């Protein structure tokens, strides 16, 4: 029961942070928080920028693709294909989390699932994902991203780190090796 509550809590915190951050941005731009609609109809300006520091801006952009705007040019069926693909991946992660995840996998996978669900909600609601965090060095900009993306990247990093630590401990504690 504790495992289930931990998973649900982490996913909910990620979703709340993601939805609130995107909602505040949409409110500041549109004067309201649209619940649904085509991305291009909701915000007429595809890209707005507010400098925060010499290396960080708040921007507004729609990401019609996946991470780093990959698959942005898939055409008119891209939103449906990405929704189906993302839903399938989330389902696999959630099944594994609730049915088989080891203790060290819970936080990373819940972060990944929460972030993926946050972006999926945008894709279902708007046909695209709201991205607004822009880090840059001079004229070189990292692709804009959002809170859900941060959680996914941190989750993947933690998963790899935790897997490596668990594997090392296992190899140190057994003579025959580990599977």
| pTM tops 0.85 | yes
Using the predicted structure, report yes or no on whether residue 164 has a pLDDT greater than 90: yes
Residues 6 or more apart in contact with residue 113 via CB below 8 angstroms: 7, 11, 90, 93, 94, 97
Residues 6 or more apart in contact with residue 179 via CB below 8 angstroms: none
Say how many CA atoms lie within 13 Å of 125 toward its Cβ. 17
The verdict on whether 149 is a catalytic residue reads yes
| Domain boundaries of the chain, sorted by first residue | 2-173
Q: Supply the DSSP string of 93-128, one letter for each residue.
A: HHHHHHHT--GGGHHHHHHHHHHHHHHHHHHHHHSS
Q: Which of 18, 122, 134, 149 is catalytic?
A: 149
Cα distance between the two ends of the chain: 28
Closest among 101, 95, 123, 113 to 14, alpha carbons compared: 113
The verdict on whether 134 is a catalytic residue reads no
Q: Which of 18, 122, 131, 134 is catalytic?
A: 131
Task: Give the mean model confidence (pLDDT) for residues 91-103.
Answer: 96
pLDDT in tens, 45-67: 666 788 899 999 999 888 887 66
Q: Give percent helix, percent strand, percent coil of the chain, each to the nearest 5.
A: 60, 15, 25
According to the per-residue pLDDT averaged within each range, which of 36-45, 52-61, 80-89, 113-122 is highest?
113-122
Closest among 34, 48, 40, 42 to 132, alpha carbons compared: 48
């Amino acid at each position: 029961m504790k495992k289930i509550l931990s998973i649900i809590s982490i996913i909910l915190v990620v979703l709340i942070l993601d939805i609130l951050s995107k909602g505040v941005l949409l409110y500041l731009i549109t004067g309201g928080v649209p619940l649904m609609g085509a991305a291009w109809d909701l915000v007429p300006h595809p890209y707005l920028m507010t400098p925060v520091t010499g290396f960080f801006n708040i921007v507004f952009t729609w990401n019609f693709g996946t991470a780093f705007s990959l698959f942005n040019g898939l055409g008119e069926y891209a939103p449906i294909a990405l929704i189906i693909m993302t839903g399938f991946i989330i389902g696999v992660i959630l099944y594994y989390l609730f049915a088989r995840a080891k203790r060290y996998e819970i936080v990373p996978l819940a972060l990944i699932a929460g972030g993926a669900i946050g972006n999926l909600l945008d894709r279902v609601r708007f046909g695209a994902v709201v991205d607004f965090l822009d880090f840059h060095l001079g004229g070189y900009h990292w692709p804009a991203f959002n809170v859900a993306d941060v959680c996914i990247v941190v989750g993947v990093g933690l998963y790899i780190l935790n897997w490596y630590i668990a594997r090392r401990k296992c190899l140190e504690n057994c003579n025959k090796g580990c599977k």
